[in-house]
Amino acid sequence: MDQLVILLGPPGAGKGTQAKRLAAKLGIPQLSTGDMLREARAAGSDLGKQVAAIMDAGKLVSDDIVVALIDDKMGRDVTRDGAIFDGFPRTEGQAGSLDRLLAARGRKVTAAVLMDVPDAEVVRRNSGRRMCPICQRTYHVDLAPPKTAGVCDVEGHELIQRPDDRPEKIQARLDAYHRDTAPLIGYYARKGLLRRVDGVGAQDDVFGRLAAALGAT
Ligand code: AP5
């Protein structure tokens, strides 16, 4: 079955954490525009250099850049059975572009799940987040620590703090979410595709709610 699922929610709602689990359960890939942009930066590509300052400031990269990244992925065989969109779309412009690029392939979004997390929890999660620069797996110093402090469980590499996880940048990302991305809640509700999930609680509990909302239990 072609499952094209969007995970919506503020920065730090747990989209990346849950998208990985959902992708494994459904056997379809996670498409994270944030991860793609960080990979471009790590590779030192022209695209990476172009977006670095925007990302570090907590602002949104332009629609045409992220739409091109997604268009490229949707042209690949690995997405033939579906995909979990994590952090995309983030503006109404991106949502419209996604609808059009899917329609051109005879496909459409099947669900948009809002992971509801209050702003105070967003700040707590992002400020304690640490990330493996190799596999992009995320941890939290208190809430989801690695087995050995400061080291990735899988790669054994030293964890880093994302530049946009500093306090003033977290607020900028939250502002961008409320201004540019929150209107997508109405966009998908009007299409009858919106499902809401409480994103607060243990990761296993949140995953259970997410899977239930998608009928994937
Ligand atoms: P991106 O990487 O997408 O960042 P984001 O949306 O801000 O989302 P995050 O990765 O911060 O959070 P998340 O919801 O994935 O939470 P996570 O699972 O990590 O984008 C980064 C930047 O790239 C943007 O600011 C922008 O510049 C650019 N960009 C990307 N896409 C774009 C687009 N479409 N358009 C324009 N620009 C774009 O969890 C967070 C923390 O909480 C972790 O530490 C985790 O361990 C912990 N945690 C997770 N679940 C729980 C739980 N249930 N309880 C307690 N802690 C938890």
Q: What residue owns the CA closest to ligand 1's atom 17?
A: 14
pLDDT of residue 136: 84
Going by C-beta distance under 8 Å and a sequence separation of 6 or more, which residues neighbour residue 205?
none
Active site residue 147: no
Query: CA–CA separation, 107 vs 66, rounded Å?
Result: 19
CB atoms within 10 A of CB 36: 19
pTM of the model as a whole: 0.93
pLDDT of residue 55: 94
Q: What percent of the chain has pLDDT above 70?
A: 100
Of the two residues 193 and 166, the one the predictor is more confident about is 193
Rounded mean pLDDT, 87-91: 98
* pLDDT surpasses 80 at 217: no
Q: Please, which residues bridge with residue 111 across strands?
A: 5
**Residue 85 corresponds to which tokens in the numbers above?**
């969109």
Closest CA relative to residue 118, chosen from 33, 13, 214, 210: 13
pLDDT tens digit sequence for 141-157: 998 999 999 999 999 99
Q: Which residues line ligand 1 (CB under 6 A)?
A: 9, 11-17, 33-34, 37, 54-55, 58-61, 66, 87-88, 90, 94, 125-126, 129, 138-140, 143-144, 164, 173, 201, 203, 206
Average pLDDT taken over every residue of the chain: 95
Burial class of 92 by CB neighbour count within 10 A (0 to 12, 13 to 18, 19+): middle
pLDDT of residue 98: 98
* pLDDT surpasses 80 at 174: yes
Query: CA–CA separation, 103 vs 58, rounded Å?
Result: 31
Interhelix angle 167-176/119-128, rounded to 10 degrees, is 140
pLDDT tens digit sequence for 107-139: 999 999 999 999 999 999 999 999 999 988 889
Ligand 1: centre distance to CA 16 (Å):
6
pLDDT tens digit sequence for 176-210: 999 999 999 999 999 999 999 999 999 999 999 99
pLDDT of residue 50: 95
Helix H or strand E segment including 31: strand 30-32
Domains and CATH numbers, the chain: 3-118+181-213 (3.40.50.300)
Ligand 1: centre distance to CA 212 (Å):
22
Which ligand 1 atom is the nearest neighbour of the CA of 38? 23
* pLDDT surpasses 80 at 1: no
21, 31, 37: residue to mutate for ligand 1 pocket, most atoms within 8 A of CB: 37
Query: CA–CA separation, 185 vs 112, rounded Å?
Result: 8
Q: Check: CB of residue 178 under 8 Å from CB of residue 170.
A: no
Q: Check: CB of residue 91 under 8 Å from CB of residue 105.
A: no
Instruction: Give me the residue label for tokens 């999930």.
Output: 197
Ligand 1: centre distance to CA 122 (Å):
10
Secondary structure (H, E, C), 112-158 = EEEEECCHHHHHHHHHHEEECCCCCCEEECCCECCCCCCECCCCCCE
60, 132, 159: residue to mutate for ligand 1 pocket, most atoms within 8 A of CB: 60
